[in-house]
Amino acid sequence: MKGGNNEEERHVKHEVTDHKNHKTGPHSGRNHEMHKGHKMEEHDKHGHTEHEHESHGKHKHSHAEHHRMMMEDFKRRFIVSSILTIPILLLSPLIQNFFGFKLTFTGDHYVLFLLSAMVYFYGGWPFLRGMQDELKKKMPGMMTLIALAITVAFSYSVAVTFGLPGKTFYWELATLIDIMLLGHYIEMRSVLGASRALEELIKLMPTEAHLITPEGIKDVPVSELKKGDVVLVKPGEKIPSDGVVIEGETSVNEAMLTGESKPVYKKPGDSVIGGSINLEGAIKVRIEKTGKDTYLMQVVELVRQAQETRSRTQDLANRAAFYLTLIAITAGSITLGTWLYMGMPFVFALERMVTVMVITCPHALGLAVPLVVSVSTSLSAKKGILIRNREAFERAKDVQVVVFDKTGTLTEGKFEVTDVIPLEDVEEYEILKYAAALEAHSSHPIAQGIVEKAKELNLESYEVKESKVLPGKGVQGIINGKEVFVVSPNFVKENGLWKDDERVDKVLEQGKTVVFLIIDGKLAGAIALADKIRPESREAIKKLHEMGIKAYMLTGDNAKVAKWVAEELGLEGFFAEVLPHQKSEKVKELQENGFIVAMVGDGINDAPALIQADVGIAIGAGTDVAIESADIILVKNDPRDVITAIHLARATYGKMVQNLAWATGYNTFAIPLAAGTLYSYGILLSPAVGALLMSLSTVIVAINARFLKA
C-alpha cells in the first residue's frame, strides 16, 4: 500500500472483497456455502484499541486470502478434471459410436469408472459440499441441482459398470462438472476485482512527508505522522494528512476529493485535506488527523458501507435452478414410485428415473446466462463499454433516473474563456494578450484556460519581465514597460479598484470564474471562464428524455455554476455543493422515492455514490477508484454511451429470458417423455437419448446467445 500504512487502512482495504459479494451476487445463492465459517464481523464503531484494530485487520486480510485460495481451488479442480475428461470421452461408448471409432481393451470399463470416480469426488466436491449447506438452510439451489445430477449419473453408472443392465453416463458427469467448475472460477475472479476500489482510494495518500524537527527537515513515512506534527508541503506535492495551514499561502486542488473544480485558496488558519495537491506556494501544515480519522479514510469507509448494504438480488439462473431442482426431485421420485407401483422391474423403474434426472440436468441452465453475458460483454467492449458487474448491468434495463457528476462527466473539467469584458479603452484581444503573457508559465487551470484561448485566436505573445506569483491572488509582471496584474475579484476590491458593471455582475451571477486585468493601476478588463460542457452531453440528455428517463446532476461546485450547467443542458434538477457522503445520500433519496437510479461519474468523490446507485457507470478517463467502484465503464469518455449501455442491457436481458425459458421450458415435454408417459404407444426414451436431448438444449441456448445484437 502506498498511503498511510496503519492497520485500519489495511482493515478497510481487505474487508471490501466480502462486502462486494453482496453487490455482485454470484455468491449470494449458489456460492454462499463456500463462505461457511467466515461470517462478516461488525465493523469497528466503538473506539476499539489499536491492538483490536490490528487483530481485526489481520482477520480481514486472512479472509481475503481465503477467498483467493477458494478461487484458485476452483481453477485447480477445473484443470485436473478437464485433463481426466479427455480419456473419459475417448472411452465412452456413446462418443465412440457418434464419431465412428473404437477404443476397447480388457477392463476398459473399470478404467472409465476409476477416471470418472476421480472427477466425481475431486471435481464435484465443491458442489457436494454446497448441496449439504443448501439443504441445511432448506434453500436448495444450483449447488443442489448440480450435485443431484452428478450423483445420480455417477451412482447409476457405477451400478451399470458392476452388473446392472443399462447405460453409463460417465461423460455427461465429467463434462457437467468441468463446465460448472469453470463458471464458478470466472465468477469468483470477477468478485475479487472489487477489492481494488478501496486500494485505489488509499493510493491517493503520499508515502512520505517532510517533517519539520528541531534538527531540520526530515523525510518520514506518512504512517509515522502524529497529531500536532508540522510538515512542509512544496508546490506540486500532495498534502500528507488532514491539517491546518500555519505558514504560507497557496491554491490547492481538491477536485479529486471534494469535486470542487476550482483550485481553493489557502492561507494560515485554513484547513487542508490529505491527498489534495498543493499547486503554488510552499506551506507549513500542522497535522490534525491521521489514519482512519482523515477525510480520505472516511470516504473509504463510506465506500465500504455502500458495498455492504448493497442490494442482494438473486440472479435469474439461481431462481430457475431452485424450481428446476424441485421439479427434478419430484419428477424423479414420482417416476420411480409409479413404475414400481405398476409392477415393472426395479431396473426399468430406475432407468426411467435416471433418464428424468439426466434430461433435467442443468447444462443448458448453467450456460443460459453466462453465454449471453459472454456475448454481451464482447459486443459491448467493441462499443467502448466494459461490464464489471453482471447483476447491475441487468438492472440497467429498468433505469428511471440517471444522475451525472458534473466535472469531468458532463463537463470536461477544463476552464474555457467564455467572456472578455473591456472596462477601459482596451480591445478584447489586447486584454487576452496581456493576460496570456503573464499566465504563460503557470500550471494553474485558470491560467491554462486563458493561454489556450489566446493560442486558439493566434494572438502574438508579449515579453514579460519581473514576473511574480501572488499566491491565491494572481500574478504580476512588467509588459511593455507597464506594471500588469491578472488577479482575483478580492484583490481588486481590497485595492479599491472595483467598478460596478452589468456585464461583470451577469457572469458572476452565472457562477463563472472571473479574473481582472490591471494595467498601471487601472482596471482594464475582466475575463470570465467556465468549465467547458462536453458537446456530447447535450445529445446524451436529449436521448435520455426521449427514452422517458430523467437526468439529474450532482456536483461539489457552487449552486450558481450548477444552475448554469443544468439550464444549458435542460436537466430535471441538480444537487450542488455536495460532499462525497452527501452524494451517496442524494442517490439514496432518489431510490427511496421509488426510482431505479444510475450514477455516472469519474472522480474519487463519486465512488460512494457509484456504489450506492443501482447501476454505477464510470467515465473511462476518470480516476482508477471510480472505475473500480463502478459496474459499467465508458472507455470513450462519451456520455452518449450511457444510452448504448441501457439499450444493450435491455437486449441482453431479453436473450437471458429466452435462454432460461428454453433451458427450463423444454423440460415440460422432455420430462414426461423421459418418465415414460407414452410407453403404451411404444415411445420410450433411453437414458442415452435423454442425454442427447439435454445436450441439444445446450446447443440451442448457445446458438440463441450468438444472435444477440445491440
- The answer to whether 18 is a known catalytic residue is no
- Cα torsion at 458, 462, 467, 468 (round to 10°)? -40
- Phi, psi angles (nearest 5°) of residue 473: -125, -40
The one-character DSSP state at 325 is: H
Spatial CB neighbours of 470, under 8 Å, sequence gap ≥ 6: 476, 485, 487, 491
Q: φ, ψ for residue 422 (rounded to 5)?
A: -70, 135
Contact 634, 384 (CB under 8 A): yes
Contact (Cβ atoms closer than 8 angstroms) between residue 635 and residue 380? no
Helix (H/G/I), strand (E/B), else coil: 638: coil
d(CA 482, CA 518): 10
Q: Exposure pattern of 268-297 as b/e (b: 16+ CB <10 Å)?
A: eebebbbbbbbbbbbbbbbbbbbbbebbbb
- At 698, list the grid cell: 445446450
Burial label for 582, CB within 10 Å (0-12, 13-18, 19+), is: middle
Q: Please give the Cα distance from 578 to 277 (Å, whole number).
A: 20
**Which residues contact residue 368 at a Cβ distance below 8 angstroms, ignoring those fewer than 6 apart?**
317, 320, 656, 659, 660, 662, 663, 701
Q: How many CB atoms lie within 10 A of CB 108?
A: 13
What residues form DSSP beta bridges with 235?
none
CA nearest neighbour of 351 among 120, 163, 156, 174 = 156
Please state the φ and ψ torsions of residue 268, each to the nearest 5 degrees.
Answer: -50, 130
Partners of 232 in the beta sheet? 210, 284
CA distance 250 to 281: 5
Cα separation of 404 and 389, whole Å? Answer: 19
Output DSSP code: residue 165.
S
Report d(CA 318, CA 142) in Å as an integer. Answer: 6
- Residue 43 gets which letter from DSSP? P
DSSP state of 413: E
- In three-state secondary structure terms, 486 is strand
Neighbours of 468 (CB within 10 A): 11
Q: Which of 366, 363, 331, 367 is nearest to 691 (CA)?
A: 363
Judge contact between 622 and 601, C-beta under 8 A: yes
Other Cβ atoms less than 10 A from the Cβ of 436: the count is 24
Q: SS3 string of 608-647?
A: HHHHHCCEEEEECCCCHHHHHHCCEEECCCCCCHHHHHHH
Catalytic residue among 242, 405, 531, 602: 405
Q: Which residues are marked as active site?
A: 405
